[in-house]
Amino acid sequence: MSSPEQTPHRSGFVALVGRPNAGKTTLTNALVGEKVGIVSNRPQTTRHAIRGVVHKPEGQIVLVDTPGLHKPKSLLGKRLNDVVRDTLSDVDVVVFCVPADQPVGTGDKFIARQLREIRAPIVVVVTKTDAANKQQVAEQLMAASQLVEAAEVVPVSAVKGDQVELLENLLIKLLPEGPPLYPEEQTTDEDVERQLAELVREAALEKVFQEVPHSLAVTIEEINRRPDRDLVEIHALLHVERNSQKPMLLGKGGSIIKAIGSEARVGMETLLGARVHLDLHVTVLGEWQDDPKKLNRLGY
């Protein structure tokens, strides 16, 4: 038996689910304490299950930030839903994110139905409390707690950091006893190439409006380290589905693609700890969202 002073160490996997744009990635980044996933106010920004690792003396939380569960309209959409279902079957706790600033809708109810088959305890988190007034938050806590049988219901503002630590402590208590799963210095298991591609995609999503977001994929074609000049040369391709979308990404006289490059480069230099020369090209990969071979090539 362990003495009362010695609380056993706990560790395990926690999946964040919620409809698109429910604040899952912002919450993941707040819990980890650094940026491990891209954030955009466009739905369906996350396309892979990203793992962020939270290190605390009493436990380690491995966060799995899933793409938003939704009714799929393409093969890509179907594959994204499969990623979520595979993830959920294999975690210790599920965090169901419901935004405070939008009424509970069919998307939330759709997810609640999917969660009925899950054995893991569910913590309902009402996100974005900074974007709603106290009454809205109170009403949302009531509405959200009726969606599923929850172990806990917690209001959180990831942007302001409100209740983030409380949520961490609640999650650790629900995890099984066990040693850390990742070394102390590791905060994500995303490979560098994918992180670089996501930084380009995030910058592009901020710069282009209209119809491009869902049609955009990014691949890193080459990473060339130049130790003699403390420089990393990166060549990336932005893939769109139609010729008409190409000018939207390039902009007049290449103004938009330059702005995308400047913004992505800042994140890349932080990530790599070196100066970056970034070379971006836009290519048309016709209707890739519904083509299995093209999806495989793009890593979906």
Query: Binding residue per annotation — 20?
Result: no
Whether the per-residue pLDDT at 151 is higher than 50: the answer is yes
Q: Is 57 marked as binding a ligand?
A: no
CATH 3.40.50.300 occupies which residues in the chain? 10-174
Contact residues for 299 (Cβ-Cβ < 8 A; gap 6+): 48, 194, 219
Cα gap 177→154, rounded to integer Å: 23
Q: Is 134 annotated as a binding residue?
A: no
65 is in an annotated binding site: yes
Residue 241's CB is within 10 A of a number of other CB atoms, namely: 21
* 29 Cβ contact list (under 8 Å, min separation 6): 35, 36, 37, 39, 52, 158
Q: What is the mean pLDDT of residues 189-200?
A: 75
- The pLDDT of residue 47 is 43
**198-247: pLDDT as tens digits:** 888 878 877 775 545 567 788 888 888 877 777 888 888 888 888 888 88
Out of 20-24, 44-48, 262-266, 272-276, pick the least confident: 44-48
- Choose which CATH entry (3.30.200.20, 2.60.40.420, 3.40.50.300, 3.30.300.20) describes domain 192-297: 3.30.300.20
* Residue 129 annotated as part of some ligand binding site: yes
219 is in an annotated binding site: no
| pLDDT, position 68 | 57
230 is in an annotated binding site: no
Residues in the chain, total:
300
E strand map for 177-274: 217-226, 231-240
Question: pTM of the predicted model, to two decimals?
Answer: 0.60
Pick the CATH number of 10-174 from 3.40.50.300, 2.40.128.50, 3.30.70.580, 3.20.20.140: 3.40.50.300
pLDDT tens, residue by residue, 108-126: 998 898 888 888 999 999 9
End-to-end CA, the chain: 47
Q: Which residue has the tokens 């999946």?
A: 15
Which residues in the chain belong to E strands, given as ranges? Answer: 10-17, 50-56, 59-65, 93-99, 122-127, 152-155, 217-226, 231-240, 275-284
Q: Is 270 annotated as contributing to ligand binding?
A: no
Q: Is residue 45 part of an annotated ligand binding site?
A: no
The span from the CA of 140 to the CA of 171, in Å, is 21
Q: Looking at residue 128, what is its pLDDT?
A: 92
For the chain, residues classed under CATH 3.30.300.20 are 192-297
Q: How many CB atoms lie within 10 A of CB 103?
A: 11
